[in-house]
């Protein structure tokens, strides 16, 4: 799995302020791409923009809340206005609110669905004409939660399963067209997302323990490498795939 040169190409990466989104945006820039970076956290996003600039690549910072549908369309429109093309769309932004089901707020359910499932759809729909023109690629970041029944993660599991199968549905819909549509399903990585386990630390630890791998966490850069590979022309044989990078979690 070796990503190919992205010089002259434009990638749009969501969730790029930190964690996997930031690492994916930096890797794509390292491969030569100019990158539109989207995140609700404007301050941290600026740091990613600076890092891309330091690699002599162009970064377009788009501080947008992707739980708002019109912002998904706007992200694509602003990318096209700045760069005139879109070769790769990487849907990395995500939220996670672990909770026992009776305690889960309606707001947590809604935001999980909006950011993790709906935003990728509306970004993809806006980006498709341009990605088809560029013979480009879509990479959706799902999760090992798409393949396991993880206790206390009902909303997150539902959203990530939905995103995984939406990836496959779109791959079939566009199987005769010059575009590649794939997913990456990481296991646990040490990011701000995984710091949010507090609300379930008084729950059944035996069940919580089943979520992880005895091998430990995955490195962010290992997963970012896979995102960049699938976004690059080197992944020409990949379409409708979901690559599990989870240190064996879904081997069980």
Q: What residues are annotated to the active site?
A: 156
What does the CA dihedral 205, 207, 212, 214 come to, rounded to 10 degrees? 80
* Interaction between residue 65 and ligand NAD (CB under 6 A): yes
Residue with tokens 């539109």: 36
Phi, psi dihedrals of residue 144, rounded to the nearest 5°: -60, -20
Please tell me the distance from the alpha carbon of residue 48 to that of residue 59, in angstroms, as a whole number. Answer: 8
* Window 110-129: contact mask with ligand NAD (x via CB under 6 A): -----x--------------
Tell me the window of 14-22, 80-88, 226-234, 237-245 that interacts with ligand NAD (CB under 6 A). Answer: 14-22
> Hey, how many other C-beta atoms are within 10 angstroms of the C-beta on 209?
9
CA distances from residue 17 to 41, 61, 99, 173, 209 in whole angstroms, order as listed: 6, 10, 25, 32, 29
Binding of residue 92 to ligand NAD (CB under 6 A): yes
User: What is the closest distance, in whole angstroms, from the C-beta atom of residue 148 to ligand NAD in the complex?
Assistant: 11
From candidates 78, 79, 99, 143, binder to ligand NAD by CB under 6 A: 143
Cα–Cα distance between 60 and 171 in angstroms, integer?
Answer: 28
Phi, psi (deg, nearest 5) at residue 54: -65, -20
First to last CA, the chain: 24
Q: Taking CB under 6 A as the rule, which mask of x and - marks residues 193-232 in contact with ligand NAD?
A: xx--------------------------------------
Q: How many residues bind ligand NAD (CB under 6 A)?
A: 27
Q: Is 18 in the site for ligand NAD (CB under 6 A)?
A: yes
The smaller minimum CB distance to ligand NAD, of residues 19 and 136, is found at: 19
* 10 alpha-carbon distance from chain centroid: 16
Binding residues for ligand NAD restricted to 170-189, rule: CB under 6 A: 186, 188-189
> Minimal distance in Å, beta carbon 5 to ligand NAD?
25
| Rounded least distance, CB 135 to ligand NAD, Å | 26
Q: Which of 12, 13, 19, 231 binds ligand NAD (CB under 6 A)?
A: 19
Q: Does 95 bind ligand NAD (CB under 6 A)?
A: yes
Q: For residue 62, which of 52, 231, 72 has the smallest C-alpha distance?
A: 72
Sign of the alpha-carbon torsion through 211, 156, 47, 80: positive
Q: Where are the alpha helices (DSSP H) in 39-99?
A: 42-53, 69-83
- Footprint on this chain of ligand NAD (rule: CB under 6 A): 15, 17-21, 39-41, 65-67, 92-96, 115, 141, 143, 186, 188-189, 191-194
């Amino acid at each position: 799995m070796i990503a190919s040169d992205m010089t002259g190409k434009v990638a749009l990466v969501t969730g790029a302020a930190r964690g996997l989104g930031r690492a994916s945006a930096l890797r794509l820039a390292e491969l030569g791409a100019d990158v539109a970076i989207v995140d609700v956290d404007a301050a941290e996003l600026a740091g990613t923009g600076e890092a891309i600039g330091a690699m002599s690549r162009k970064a377009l910072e788009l501080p947008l809340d992707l739980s708002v549908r019109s912002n998904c369309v706007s992200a694509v429109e602003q990318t096209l206005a700045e760069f005139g093309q879109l070769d790769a769309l990487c849907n990395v932004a995500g939220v996670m609110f672990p909770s026992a089901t009776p305690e889960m707020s309606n707001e947590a359910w809604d935001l999980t669905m909006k950011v993790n499932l709906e935003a990728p759809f509306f970004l993809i729909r806006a980006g498709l004409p341009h990605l088809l023109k560029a013979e480009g690629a879509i990479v959706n970041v799902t999760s090992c939660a798409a393949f396991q029944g993880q206790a206390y993660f009902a909303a997150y599991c539902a959203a990530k399963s939905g995103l995984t199968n939406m990836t496959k549905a779109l791959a079939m819909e566009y199987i005769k067209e010059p575009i590649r549509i794939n997913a990456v399903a990481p296991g646990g990585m040490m990011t701000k997302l995984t710091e949010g386990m507090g609300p379930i630390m008084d729950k059944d630890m035996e069940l919580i323990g089943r979520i992880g791998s005895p091998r430990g966490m995955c490195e962010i850069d290992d997963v970012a490498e896979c995102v960049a590979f699938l976004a690059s022309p080197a992944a020409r044989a990949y379409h409708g795939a979901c690559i599990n990078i989870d240190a064996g979690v879904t081997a069980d």
